[in-house]
A and B are shown apart, each in its own frame.
Chain A
C-alpha cells in the first residue's frame, strides 16, 4: 500500500548548523508534499509544502526539495536555532485526484530534532 519512509528518526545538531530530513514515498501519483512541525503538547503546524510541478521551494531558513524520479523529498533547515527543536513530519497525498474528494495524507514516522545551544 501507500507508504512514506522518513529518516532519520532522531537528529541532534549544534545551533547554527544545518539539518536535513529525508522522506521517500511509494505512490508515484502523489503530487502534494507538506511538512509539519510539532512542538511538545501542541498539534502539528504546517511549515512548508511543495507540489509536484516544482522541484524546490524556500521560505527564509526552510527549504524543501522534491525529486519525482526518485520519489523522495527533503526538508532543509539552515542556521538552526533552539526553537527549531521539535518533531517534524513529512507527508504525501494525491491532492485533486478526481477519484474521490478525500485528501488522504500519508505521514512519515517523524524526526525528533534537537538543536543544542
Chain B
C-alpha cells in the first residue's frame, strides 16, 4: 500500500480564483509526478520532479505550476482557475530507477 496523499479530494471553485492542490508522500521517493485525467480517460503527464528543487514540464501543456522544496511535498498551483481546468489531477511518486509509480487518490477540480 502506497502512502501518498492528496488534498482536497474535491474542489469546486469560481473562475479567477487561485488554487493549490496538495500532494505528499511518506515513502521518501525522489521522483514525483502530476497527471491530468478526465474521468476514466487517458492519463496525461503535466509536471514531474527528479528531486528537491527540480521541476520539469510534462507532455501535456498546462497553465499550472509546481514546486519541490521538500522531498515529500509536491504542490500544484493554478494562479487563475478557468472552466477549462476542470479535471481530475493525480499525483504519483517513484523511487530510484525502478519504474514503479504509486498514485494518490486524486483531486477532482471543478471550475465554475
- Where the two chains meet, the residues of A that have a C-beta atom closer than 8 Å to any C-beta of B are 32, 34, 36, 38, 40-46, 49, 87, 89, 93, 95-97, 101-105, 107-110, 112
Contact = CB atoms under 8 A, between A and B. Distances in A.
A43 B104 contact: yes
Tell me if A's interface is mostly helix, strand, loop or mixed.
loop
Contacts of A45: 103
B94 interface: yes
Contact of A101 (B6, B31, B45, B90): B31
Contacts of A43: 6, 90, 92, 103-106
Given A43-B106, A103-B94, A38 B40 contact: yes
Nearest to B51: A101
Given A43-B106, A101-B50, A103-B31, A89 B43 contact: yes
